[in-house]
Amino acid sequence: MRDAVTSLIENYDVAGRYLDRDGIDRLKSYFATGTARVQAAAAINSNAAAIVKQAGIQLFAEQPELIRPGGNAYTTRRYAACLRDMDYYLRYATYALVAGSTDVLDERVLQGLRETYNSLSVPIGPTVMGIGIMKEMVKAQVAAAGLSVGPFLDQPFDYMIRELSEQDI
């Protein structure tokens, strides 16, 4: 897993270039939000179980067919698997938030996820909805803790949503 600094330096190193103004500005931006990212991650971590539980409740209220017979979250085992996956997305979003990079999401979450879900007949749409619900809950949780809610907070969730969303609708 690489963070924003490692990725930036690696890109300049591969190109055989010194850091330019753009690179320095990107580093400044990353470090300027560092404390806010760590504080946001702490707020998320201390409330992760509640965020996942409430996001699941809201998702199933909006998509009740998922928990009806034949739905992908029907049966206790499938319902628990859905919540487990939501927790997984939240945890990795937190890692990406602290790292200031979405590399961990590509490496550990998104790579092959669509194919896996399609092979298991798990619909992607509700997954995307669940990630969006968690994003809003995280923003509310971080704001309620009196912390900064900047674009850096949206980035990992928006990235997962964008990468999982259907392209040809």
Q: How many CB atoms lie within 10 A of CB 11?
A: 11
Instruction: Tell me how far apart the alpha carbons of residues 72 and 64 are, in angstroms, rounded to a whole number.
Output: 11
Give the amino acid at 46. S
Q: What is the mean pLDDT of residues 151-161?
A: 96
pLDDT in tens, 65-98: 999 999 999 999 999 999 999 999 999 999 999 9
pLDDT at position 169 is 44
Q: What is the mean pLDDT of residues 96-109?
A: 94
Q: What is the mean pLDDT of residues 93-116?
A: 93
DSSP string for residues in 108-130: IIITTHHHHHHHTT--HHHHHHH
Instruction: Tell me how far apart the alpha carbons of residues 26 and 22 are, in angstroms, rounded to a whole number.
Output: 6
